[in-house]
Amino acid sequence: MGSTLAEKVEALLAPEAERHGYELVAVETAGGHHQPVIRVFLDREEGIDIDAICAANEWIADAVDSSCGLDGKYTLEVSSPGLDRPLRKLSDYERFAGMRAKLKTKPADGRSSFTGTIEGVEAGDILLGLEDGTSVHIPFGSVVKARLKGDVDFG
């Protein structure tokens, strides 16, 4: 079975991002096969600004053009992961311990959606403190989708 376009682009860009001083947070694709949209989310220790996005756009486009066989028929979107940053690696849960997150999992015990505060990682499980005061252990392998749940204070 072949890799998806997102997986191919992610494998291509991960070493390039590291070489340029970025963390490749995620690659998502949308649209049809004839003109896909490729969304690349980058971060770096000092954060991402518009100048960093513009600079990254150049090397990302070059890499995709030379290696993905898309004949130039795609739309590239490069951005920061934003407040609702995707959580893709187990290390993300360690890094963002203390922050709120929303996780969708494979159904287990009649439940597949969890929102709470990341408490850390233990033996391959994500520890999540729920709003009712309880904590749950969620196996990392059961997570389908997870994002930070940014809180914005307009006060």
Query: Mind listing the domains of the chain with CATH numbers?
Result: 5-79 (3.30.300.70), 90-148 (2.30.30.180)
Q: In whole angstroms, what separates CA 58 from the centre of its chain?
A: 21
Give the Cα separation of 119 and 65 in Å (integer).
41
Task: Give the torsion sign (CA, 62, 51, 81, 19).
Answer: positive
Buried b (16+ CB within 10 A) or exposed e, 64-82: beeeeebeeebebebebbe
Question: pLDDT tens across 13-70, in order?
Answer: 999 999 999 999 999 999 877 789 999 999 998 889 999 999 999 999 999 988 877 7
What's the confidence (pLDDT) of residue 32? 79
pTM beyond cutoff 0.95: no
Contact between residue 115 and residue 100 where contact means Cβ atoms under 8 Å apart: yes
